[in-house]
Amino acid sequence: MLEFIFCSMLTIFPDYMFRRYRQGKRIGHEITLFSVWYELRYGIVTCLMLTISLVTVVFYYHPSTTNVSSFFRTVTILSESGGRVEEVYVINNQEVNAGDPLFSLDASSQRAAVETAERQIEEVLAQFNVAEADLAAARGVVAQAKGALDQAKEELAVRQTLLDQGSTAVNTRDVEKLENVVETRQGALDAAKAQLKAVEAEVEISLPAAKATALASLKQAQTELEKTVIYALVDGTVEQFALQPGDIVNPILRPAGVLVPPDVGEGRFQAGFSQLSAQVIKPGMLAEITCMSLPFTIIPMKVVGVTDYIPSGQFRPSDQLLDVQDRARPGTLNVYMEPLFEGGTKLVSRGSKCIANVYTNNHDRLHSEEMSTGKWLFLHMVDTVGLVHAAILRIQALLLPVQNLVLTGH
């Protein structure tokens, strides 16, 4: 409407003035409601063409969108395993700090597992005492077997010496018996040593390994017990939290609520512009927004990032080929904006619905680049018509409460 009124002042109005004062035609006589088209046809056609051209230039070089919001992150309150709520420590809308307990689950099975692991450790420690006694006994058996072997060897050596000297007190059969005794006692000594090594291995390897396993089982059981108390991992406000003792919580089907961290996403806005703006909007461009949570206010912004892809083109591999005609809804160009001045969006609620304009600025280009007169005039015209879009945004900011409260009843 503003563009049409502006263009009519340059086309229809001069045409009417020419008809009225140059040709002497009067409204209600020669110029009537039925003869307006014929009498003012040149001005009307020129006005329509100029209006369409102006609107196209304004909206192309100074893009606008109503799809603007400041997204923020929420953290789902979940337990790592399902269970029945035993105790609740916070209420809905309560502010919590990282590490504060939120609620606990029934931990009877976890406590039983901890007690079982503790009993296993005590059992292993008792086995250490038994193994120490077995080790002492095995060492005694080795010493006994070694003493018996030494005694047999000494007796064999004496009888062998007597036999070699031709003594009649010893015969060959006695020497052979003693040799068998020595071999038998050597075998007993070897067996005792093997038993000693087995006991030593049990004391030095098996039982420490069993103790380490029992300690690991205890630690695991304690970890599972600790998981029954759910803590806040970040600072934030608890929302949608209505747990009561006895409720069932499941990490997949039934989360306990959400935690809204502070200052996450604050001051950073994401806007979705038409794909036609992809070659116009660049990082560093100036912008303005007005938000429903802060009416009658225009906030200067700057573009800090523009994605080089359209989200509607994404796909997830599946067992069906993607048909392009299923993507009839065109995607938008994601543009990230931040306030031009620090704290400019402090009063805007996170997630607020906003309207944004981005302005093309050719000031530096006009003063540093050599160009033709026609191009110079065109760029001047592009910068000038930005005022029209700025005025439209301010009218939208004034009418936004009226439109939502009066016209739509929201």
Per-residue pLDDT of the chain (410 residues; tens, 9 = 90+): 666 776 777 777 777 787 777 778 888 777 777 777 777 778 888 888 888 888 888 888 999 999 999 888 888 888 888 888 888 998 888 899 988 999 988 888 888 988 988 888 888 888 878 878 877 777 787 788 787 777 777 776 766 676 666 666 566 766 667 677 778 877 877 787 788 788 777 778 887 888 888 889 889 888 888 888 889 888 888 988 888 888 888 877 778 888 888 876 677 899 999 888 888 999 999 999 999 888 899 999 999 999 888 888 887 787 778 777 777 678 889 999 999 988 888 888 888 889 999 999 888 888 888 888 888 888 888 888 888 888 888 888 888 888 877 777 55
Please answer whether residues 214 and 124 qualify as being in contact, where contact means their C-beta atoms are separated by less than 8 angstroms: yes
The pLDDT value recorded for residue 174 is 65
The pLDDT value recorded for residue 167 is 62
The pLDDT value recorded for residue 159 is 64
> Backbone phi, then psi, for 40, in 5-degree steps?
-115, 30
Residue linked to tokens 């029954």: 228
Q: How far is CA 410 from CA 97, 158, 348, 402, in A?
A: 36, 120, 19, 10
Q: How far is CA 47 from CA 3, 33, 43, in A?
A: 10, 18, 6
Residue 105: its H or E element = strand 101-105
Q: Sign of the CA dihedral 93, 94, 96, 102? A: negative
The pLDDT value recorded for residue 166 is 63
> Backbone phi, then psi, for 310, in 5-degree steps?
-105, 120
Using a CB cutoff of 8 Å and minimum separation of 24, what contacts does 216-222 make? 217/117, 217/120, 218/114, 218/117, 218/118, 218/120, 218/121, 220/117, 221/110, 221/113, 221/114, 221/116, 221/117, 222/114
pTM of the model: 0.68
Residue 123 tokens read as: 């059992």
The pLDDT value recorded for residue 248 is 85
Dist CA 9 CA 326 (whole Å): 46
Residue 335: its H or E element = strand 333-339
The pLDDT value recorded for residue 285 is 92
Residue linked to tokens 């015209």: 381
The pLDDT value recorded for residue 373 is 85
Dist CA 90 CA 121 (whole Å): 37
Residue linked to tokens 């504060």: 100
- What letter does residue 234 receive in the DSSP assignment? S
The pLDDT value recorded for residue 303 is 94
- The one-letter code for the residue type at 252 is I
The pLDDT value recorded for residue 59 is 85
Neighbours of 82 (CB within 10 A): 14
